[in-house]
Amino acid sequence: MTKLLPTSFSKTIQTKLVLPPDTNHLGTIFGGTVLAYIDEIAAITAMRHSGTAVVTASIDTVNFLSSARVGDILILEGVVISTGTTSMEVYVKVECQHLETGERTTTTTAILTMVAVNEEGRPIPVCGIIPETEEEKSLYESAQERKKRRLKIRNFTTESN
C-alpha cells in the first residue's frame, strides 16, 4: 500500500517584493519573472512532498488574472494536488498584496507536473496525497482529466516529430 501524506505536509508559502528590475515598461511585473517564481515554489513543494530532487515535466496551465506593480508584495502558495507513480501535480496560486491598502488579489494560478528523481536523474516513486480543503479535493478529483489532456498533447507532439 502506498503511503499517503496530507497536502498540508508539503504546502509551501513564499513572499516576494516586486522591485523595479522585475517590471516592464508599463511598470508591471514581467510574466517571465512570475513564471520563474511559480516554477521555484512548485519545485520546493514537490521536494518537500517527495523528500528528493525533482524536475519540471510540464506546466499545464498558467492564468494571468491581474498584475502587480513595483512595491507590491507577492504571496505564492504551492500545494501538491495529485500524484502518479513518480509525478506530482502542484497547484500554485499567486496573490498580490497592495502595501498601502493591505488588499489581496489573485494575480496568477498555475498547475505544474514535477517528477521525483534519484541521484542519476531517474524517476523514483512518490507518496500519494490526502486532499484537505474543498479546493484541493476539487483539484484532486479533476486530476485524471488533466493527465489525459497532457498525454494527448504529448502524443500529438511526439507523432509530429
Tens digits of residue pLDDT in 93-133 = 999 998 888 899 999 999 999 999 999 999 999 999 999 99
Predicted local distance difference test score (pLDDT) of residue 92: 98
Share of the chain above pLDDT 90, in %: 82
Q: Could you give the domains of the chain?
A: 4-160 (3.10.129.10)
What's at 98, amino acid-wise?
H
In angstroms, the CA 12 to CA 78 distance is 5
- Render pLDDT for 76-96 as a digit per residue (tens, 0 to 9): 999 999 999 999 999 999 999
Q: What's the Cα-to-Cα distance from 34 to each of 51, 57, 74, 120, 150, rounded to whole Å?
A: 25, 18, 9, 30, 22
In 7-150, beta strands by DSSP E: 12-17, 53-64, 73-83, 87-97, 104-117, 128-130
Q: 1 pLDDT exceeds 60?
A: no
| Cα 79 versus chain centre, distance | 7
pLDDT in tens, 17-37: 999 999 999 999 999 999 999
Measured from the Cβ of residue 31, the count of other Cβ atoms closer than 10 Å reads 13
Q: What is the pTM of this model?
A: 0.91
